[in-house]
Chain A
Amino acid sequence: MDDQELDDLFRKAVKEPDIQFVPDDWKKMQEKLDGKGKGVAAKNLSKYLYGIGALLFLFAVSWVLIAVDFTGEFKSLDSNNRREVAIETNDLPNPSREKTGATVQTSDLPNTSDLPQKGIETAKDLSPESNTYSETGSPYPGMGAGKINDFAAYEKQELLENSALGSDNFTQSETIENHLILEKVRKPELSTLSIRENSWLIDSGVNRNTMVTKSSIDSQTFPEEIVKTSGRKIKGQSKLAVLAVFSPDASALKINEIQGLGANAGLNLEYFIHANWSLNLGVLYAFKTYQSPSGYQGSYGNVYDLSGNCYILDIPLNVRYYAVNGDRDRWYASTGLSSYLMLREKYDLSYESSTGYPKEFQLDIKNQNQHYLTIVNLSVGYERHLSDNLGIQVEPYLKIPYSGVGEGDVNLKSAGVLIGLKYRW
């Protein structure tokens, strides 16, 4: 039988269909019409809702954890310190009162020997006029106005540094709170006086008030040991960081079937919602290759061999917690969900036919399957600082789908080690 005869045989058979109408089929059609794809839409909607729910859950968990973190830090503050800070907040500068030094507690004044050397040297450069003003207006016997002025500069520098502390012992909110107190002290004077007067006042009353605040904070709220153990200071860094990542990728349906390596490469954007917590959104181009020699179980029978190569756009959304903060490095744990956009899927399938001969076929599918937030990401990582802005990360990860991946709805698990170069502004 040649090809033409075979084709003719089938063409002839097509012309004589013996098909009876089945009323149940029309009922199914009516259900479809009533829904007008409602079922499909509902299915998609449930997927979206599930994803949104998962996201909300992640946000809620991170938010609660952050709130607990803050509460803990507030509790760690001594109640006396908090009261003193509150008093200082209300104790806005009053030039007349300051000149008398009525509110100054000498015990709270900083030891001038602790002032930075630079400040002392600067004091020597002050003009005689300035010195005269300062000495006249200074409420502190033996302390030159220049020293006071430099102390203010020192204090400002300290505040700037403290405002960027990223440790458990010194939260940004506390820093901001203290900074605002000091700003409230300064601003009324600056807005009402000339520059020269302003300079004088800074040298005398205003700074004196500030010094009281500073001394209180330094001596009690931020004891020396806390500052020392606060970890690495992140000076002037923003909440955003970008990470270029690359990773080898091992994927398999079963853990003992890992054969061959794929790869991931892409970018990750990190947003710090807290010194120790961040949200991470990434875009990774992933190539995953896997085989299942033991047989992929199909709906109606066994496929005796499955080999898949998938090109995927992996969009992970993770929450990261920096658990250990060292001077030069940090350890973190991360979890979240990934979306897989299957760009291309190539499969080789072989199976045994009824004749006993192996049969093979290939599939090449493009942009047919998208899985939104259906892959669970788990990872731990180590970050090493290369400079103030640059760091390198090594992050072993595991990706586990909670619904099928790709055309075959396979349980494709992946593992690897993300290696990244991080830049934080």
Chain B
Amino acid sequence: MDKDSIQNHLEALINRDNTAQEMVYKHYYRYGMSVCLRYTSSREEAVEVLNDSFLNVFTKIEQYDSSRDFKPWFRRILINNAINHAQRHVMKAKLIQIEDLSFQPKSDLTSDGDLDYQEMIELTRSLSPMYRTVFNLYVIEGFSHEEISNALQISIGASKSNLSRARCNLREMIIGKYQKGVAKYG
């Protein structure tokens, strides 16, 4: 879908045009899921967050400034919903699902020692929701600890601590499970 076409669909969202909604959904699905999967414990949760975000897009499209790129606005919505989701589900032991389950990598690291997307998702899902959220916000989204503390309503110290523990856990898992693949980092 070319840029003009998607822009037309975005504008048509104001009229609650169902075809436009479907086109926009399909066009930004991959991007949206790539964000949501990183913040959630399962694909089902990721879809839930994604659809909540699209619902916000479709119902609050008037707030979108069409002179600017859509992605950053959409990304912000995705992250806000992901944070809300993490906060609401953090105690409901979704994290235990992953932490309690033994980590079962589907494949080794790629031959050059890099992670593919699926491996990265599996690793981050091993973290508790709070660690995972802080790690994603800091490392992937580029939030500062102050911004994270505001977003998650935790102290800056807690943000730093969670990030440190998240890194430690990830490092431990990578070294332990992928000793061969990450030998060059050892």
- Using a CB–CB cutoff of 8 Å, the interface residues on chain A facing chain B are 1, 3, 5-7, 9-14, 16-19, 21-22, 25-26, 28-29, 32-33, 36-37, 296, 298-303, 347, 349, 351-355, 359, 361-366, 368, 407-409
Contact = CB atoms under 8 A, between A and B. Distances in A.
Contacts of B62: none
Interface in B84-108: 87-88, 90-97, 99-103
Contacts of A13: 114-117, 119-120
A354 B102 contact: yes
Interface residues of B, number: 65
A29 B54 contact: yes
Interface in B103-141: 103, 114-120, 123-124, 126, 128, 130-131, 135, 139-140
B38 interface: yes
Given A10-B170, A13-B115, A352-B100, 18 more contacts: A1-B174, A10-B123, A13-B117, A14-B117, A14-B140, A16-B116, A17-B33, A18-B118, A21-B30, A26-B29, A28-B51, A33-B21, A301-B96, A303-B93, A351-B100, A354-B99, A361-B90, A407-B92
A361 B133 CA distance: 13
Given A32-B55, A36-B59, A302 B139 contact: no
A141 B137 CA distance: 102
B25 interface: yes
Contacts of A37: 55
A6 B167 contact: yes
Interface in B142-186: 153-154, 158, 162, 167, 170-172, 174-176, 182, 185-186
Nearest to A367: B153
11 contacts: A1-B185, A1-B186, A9-B174, A13-B116, A13-B120, A16-B117, A18-B118, A301-B99, A351-B96, A361-B162, A407-B90
A353 B120 CA distance: 19
Contacts of B52: 32
A31 B55 CA distance: 11
Contact of A10 (B25, B30, B120): B120
Q: Is the interface of B mostly helix, strand, loop or mixed?
A: helix
A37 B18 CA distance: 17
Contact of B47 (A3, A25, A347, A361): A25
A351 B34 contact: no
B153 A366 contact: yes
Q: Is the interface of A mostly helix, strand, loop or mixed?
A: mixed
B161 to A, nearest CB: 10
Contacts of A300: 93-94, 96-97, 100-101
A354 B103 contact: yes
B99 A351 contact: yes
Contacts of B22: 26
A364 B154 contact: yes
Nearest to B104: A354
B88 A368 contact: yes
Nearest to A34: B18
Contacts of A359: 99, 128
A29 B114 CA distance: 34
Contact of B26 (A17, A26, A366): A26
Contacts of A25: 29, 47, 50-51
A19 B22 CA distance: 17
B58 A409 contact: no
A420 B139 CA distance: 54
A287 to B, nearest CB: 19
A33 B61 CA distance: 14
Contact of B87 (A14, A302, A352, A368): A368
Given A14-B140, A28-B47, A29-B51, A298 B96 contact: yes
A362 B87 CA distance: 11
Contact of A299 (B93, B117, B172): B93
Q: Rank and list the top 7 A-B pairs by shortest CB-CB distance, nearest first.
A: A298-B93, A300-B97, A13-B120, A301-B96, A301-B100, A17-B34, A1-B185
Contacts of B102: 354
Contacts of A12: 114-115
B50 A33 contact: no
Contacts of B175: 1
A10 B21 CA distance: 32
Contacts of A408: 91-92
A33 B58 contact: yes
Contacts of B87: 365, 368
A342 to B, nearest CB: 12
Nearest to B92: A299
A238 to B, nearest CB: 45
A301 to B, nearest CB: 4
Contact of B171 (A1, A17, A298, A301): A1
B47 to A, nearest CB: 5
Given A11-B140, A21-B29, A365-B87, A302 B115 contact: no
B34 to A, nearest CB: 4
Nearest to B123: A10
A232 B140 CA distance: 74
A13 to B, nearest CB: 4
Nearest to A36: B59
Contacts of A3: 167
A11 B139 CA distance: 7
A321 B140 CA distance: 61
Interface string B12-39: 0000001001100110011101100110
B97 A19 contact: no
Nearest to B93: A298
